[in-house]
Amino acid sequence: MGPMTHPVVAADLASSADYAAAVASAVAASAAYYTDGSSPLGDDEYDALVRAIEAWEQAHPQDVLAESPTGKVAGGAVQGDVPHSVPMLSLDNVFSAEELADWAAGLERRLGRAPAGWCVEPKLDGLAVAARYRAGVLQQVLTRGDGLAGEDITHAADAVLGLPGRLAEPVDVELRGEVLLTTAQFEEANRIRLAHDAAPFAHPRSGAAGTLRAKDRPYRIELTFFAYSAIGLDPDLGHTALLERLAALGVNTAATTAAAPRRCETVEQVQQRIAEITGLRAELPFGIDGVVVKADDAADQQQAGSGSRAPRWAVARKLAAEHKVTRLLDVEWAVGRTGIIAPRAVLEPVVIDGVTVTYATLHNPADIERRGLMLGDQVFVYRAGDVIPRVEAPLVDQRTGNETPIAFPEVCPRCGDQVDRTEQRWRCARGRNCQAVASIIYAAGRDQLDIEGLGSTRAVQLVEAGLVADIADLFTLTREQLLGLERMGETSADNLLAAIEVARGAALGRVVCALGVRGTGRTMSRRIAAHFGSMAALRAADTDTLAEVDGIGTEKARLIAAELAELAPLLDKLTAQQVGVQVEEPQRAAAATEAAADGGAVGPLAGEAVVVTGSMTGQLAALSRNEMNELIERASGKASSSVSKRTTLLVAGEKAGSKRTKAEELGIRILTPEEFADLVADHLPQT
């Protein structure tokens, strides 16, 4: 498609010329979307444009253009050459709870009564396909195309998980469903493509479209199929029963996910389930762009019937788009506490899922070059839930010729020293010394050394006065040195020295975390400390030994080993100051001693995989999330941040949200903070 730098929006449709331009924009965007996912319009913009076209056509029915996308499957933008056995229809959309209620009331009027029940399921953001089986063996896979005929993509079937080559029973059936890249598959696909010098996919949907149509690639990219319908099975099966039948045949459905299809008896229950699925959106392992509501019973579906484009018994409740298109204005370069020089995109402000986004992540210079980004580009920006927005790809077809190359830093943007470009993530040659203040503030944090009174202002004073160059220097500070600082009184100096002295006895895991070793965090630091038992043993560890720690593979082990080698002078200073000698937290050490005295008894959470969510209350209210994780480990449990089938216990505080919903669906035991405190009472921190 040609450049479309000024797509028409709803407010512009004031004349027949505006209408014609809007139709052209919508058709072009739809063609790109259904071909390879590279539409120049985000979902919200496209939906608004089509609704504006519909409104204009209702007011001017005599002037409707033949190429208008309204009333057509896929907006009339695509065709196929293999006829479908039964037309593959699109869904009508609603965009609010009020519109959904109006649609449901209209269906009730059509039926002359309320439907016997509703099924509510996620609207998967992929490509609709039909898979034909004869005697239980897969014969052919087609895209939806224009709804009447599709494109044969059988060649890609062996890379689609959830679409079995042979069903559990020798039935003749045509499955209807969605093929997509899960989040993990999308990341792996881009890793594979970059390894083969191919441009990364802009987002999962474009990746799915491109992968299904590609032939003779020198690499394999896996996708996932989710069935949502079928032709050829018992026609009297309701939708919920049909999904259960498909699962019994060995076909993947959304029933395996936290947003599983659910039967609801009333519209109020439907609205509640939509809210629950919306809350789960950021945690789902794949993208959704809405929630589908269907009359569940076959008799209701048959009575309601279908139009030329969509069934009358089903509708899509669209959600705010997580992908948007905006302009890349600039790239800023920031230096992190370990000296990493990270690029950040400055964007023309765009609202994504109710949040105005002006900055987004750019991974590293090599990634910028591979994506071919330029200043002034129209770019895809992605944001899901609380995830930091990221720039995914430029819309090359939208370039005007006024775009300019992105300037990469020749020297460190903070200190002016040389830049180490030997790895994908560039780094200041001074490493951590470039950001001594940031390193000290981080090390003094509550979940690291927990040095009360050492905030950002004090850290800047200590560094600028030449008293502290790294965290080891904190333990050599004297009262006289502190009293020489501006606004430092005797009481403040004594309190800070006392807090530093307490930090000298911090557990090894906290000291390791305070070092800010790349590739580790709070949980991994505790695992490392528990595995090696002493700073000396950790320093003597090689790559193979580090790789034995739970959660550290060979690649991360190499990084950590290199980091420890770089930190050797600092570790020497810490050892001289007797910092990091304490292996465990005092409470944990005491519990271990008691366990040994009891013949090796373990804590009450032995064998438990525990997730904490929401605001803690009661005895746990004062604990940070890191301290909660430490408590879980003291009680012999394993702490995790996300709910999965491996989770055995959820501690749900106030405003627990989607994690509680997912735990309930998986049948996971749920405790209140007070119940959990009673369970681990013997392991609570001493007050």
Please write the tens of the pLDDT for every residue from 3-47. Answer: 333 344 444 576 778 888 877 777 776 666 555 555 556 666 677
Q: 3-state DSSP call for residue 237?
A: coil
SS3 sequence, 595-648? Answer: HHHCCCCCCCCCCCEEEEECECCHHHCCCCHHHHHHHHHHCCCEEECCCCCCCC
Percent of the chain at pLDDT > 70 equals: 90
Higher pLDDT, residue 523 or 612: 612
Judge whether residue 89 has pLDDT over 60. Answer: yes
Q: Is the pLDDT of residue 275 over 80?
A: yes
Contacts (Cβ under 8 Å, ≥6 apart) of 36: 206, 209, 210, 213
Phi and psi of 154, rounded to 5°? -60, -30
Question: Any idea which residue has 């936290």 for tokens?
Answer: 258
Tokens at residue 396, please? Answer: 């090359």
| Cβ density class 73-104: b for 16+ within 10 Å, e for less | bbbbbbebebebeeebbbbebbbeeeebeebb
Identity (one letter) of the amino acid at 53?
I
Residue-level pLDDT at 333? 92
Least confident of 14-23, 288-297, 518-527, 659-668: 14-23
Exposure string for 564-576, b = 16+ CB within 10 A, e = fewer: beebeebbebbee
Distance between CA 562 and CA 547 in Å, rounded? 13
The predicted-structure confidence for 602-635, as pLDDT tens digits, reads as follows: 789 988 999 999 889 888 988 888 788 888 988 8
The CATH architecture to which 323-329+338-410 belongs is Beta Barrel (2.40)
Q: What is the mean pLDDT of residues 350-372?
A: 83
- Interior angle at CA 201, CA 195 and CA 202, nearest 5: 140
Vertex 324 angle, CA 322 and 329, to 5°? 130
Active site residue 72: no
Tell me which DSSP letter residue 506 carries. -
Tell whether the torsion through CA atoms of 24, 29, 34 and 36 is positive or negative: positive
Q: How many other C-beta atoms can be found within 10 angstroms of the C-beta atom of residue 7? A: 20
Is residue 240 very low, low, confident or very high in pLDDT (cuts 50, 70, 90)? very high
Residue pLDDT, tens place only, 540-564: 999 999 998 887 888 888 889 988 9
Q: 51-72 pLDDT, tens per residue? A: 788 788 788 878 888 777 776 5
* Among candidate residues 669, 675, 569, the one with its CA nearest the CA of residue 619: 675
Q: Residue 210: its pLDDT value, please?
A: 81
pLDDT of 596 strictly over 70: no
**Domain 432-576 = CATH 1.10.150.20:** yes
Backbone phi and psi for residue 410, each to the nearest 5 degrees, phi listed first:
-85, -30
Residue 654, SS3 per DSSP: strand
Min mean pLDDT across 14-28, 70-84, 162-176, 398-412 is at 70-84
Does residue 477 carry a pLDDT above 70?
yes
Tell me how far apart the alpha carbons of residues 446 and 503 are, in angstroms, rounded to a whole number: 11
Contact 123, 290 (CB under 8 A): yes
Contact 683, 634 (CB under 8 A): yes
Torsion sign over Cα 584, 586, 590, 593: positive
**Interatomic CA distance for residues 407 and 537, integer angstroms:** 44
Report the distance separating Cα 181 and Cα 159, nearest Å. 11
SS3 556: helix
- Rounded to whole angstroms, the Cα distance separating 66 from 63 reads 9
User: Which pLDDT does position 663 carry in this prediction?
Assistant: 86
pLDDT of residue 4: 37
Q: Which CATH class is domain 602-683?
A: alpha beta
Q: Quick one: pLDDT band at residue 592, thresholds 50, 70, 90? A: very low
Who wins on pLDDT, 249 or 217?
249
Report residue 374's pLDDT band, with 50, 70 and 90 as the boundaries.
very high
In this structure, what is the dihedral angle of CA atoms 624, 626, 628, 633, given to the nearest 10 degrees?
A: -160
- Residues 6 or more apart in contact with residue 135 via CB below 8 angstroms: 170, 171, 172
Query: Does the structure show a pLDDT above 90 at 580?
Result: no
Mean pLDDT, residues 246-272 taken together: 94
pLDDT digit string, tens, across residues 117-143: 999 999 998 899 999 999 999 999 999
pLDDT of residue 106: 95
Gap between the Cα atoms of 85 and 616, Å rounded: 56
* Residue 608 main-chain phi, psi, to 5 deg: -95, 140
Tens-place pLDDT, residues 429-469? 888 777 788 889 889 988 899 999 998 889 889 988 999 98
Q: Look up the CATH number of domain 82-318.
A: 3.30.470.30
Q: What is the pTM of this model?
A: 0.56
pLDDT at 250: 94
Yes or no: say if 610 and 653 are a contact pair by the CB < 8 Å rule.
no
Q: In this predicted structure, what is the pLDDT of residue 296? A: 96
* Between 592 and 467, the higher pLDDT residue: 467
Comparing 10 with 317, the larger pLDDT belongs to 317
Q: What is the mean pLDDT of the chain?
A: 85
Give the active site residue among 123, 556, 638, 662. Answer: 123
Element containing residue 304 per DSSP (H, E): helix 298-304
Q: How do beta strands 288-295 and 118-124 pair?
A: antiparallel
**Domain segments of the chain: what residues?**
10-76, 82-318, 323-329+338-410, 432-576, 602-683
> Where residue 581 falls among pLDDT bands split at 50, 70, 90?
confident
Pairing of strands 173-180, 223-231: antiparallel
Two structure tokens written together for 103? 């649609």
End-to-end CA distance of the chain: 68
Nearest to 339 by CA among 460, 429, 246, 228: 429
Phi, psi of 324 (to 5 degrees): -135, 160
Instruction: Count the helices and strands in the chain (H runs, E runs).
Output: 23, 23
646, pLDDT greater than 50: yes
C-alpha 162/C-alpha 251 separation (Å) is: 6
Residue spans of beta strands (DSSP E) within 160-287: 160-161, 173-180, 223-231, 262-264
Q: How many CA atoms lie within 13 A of 492 on its CB side?
A: 13
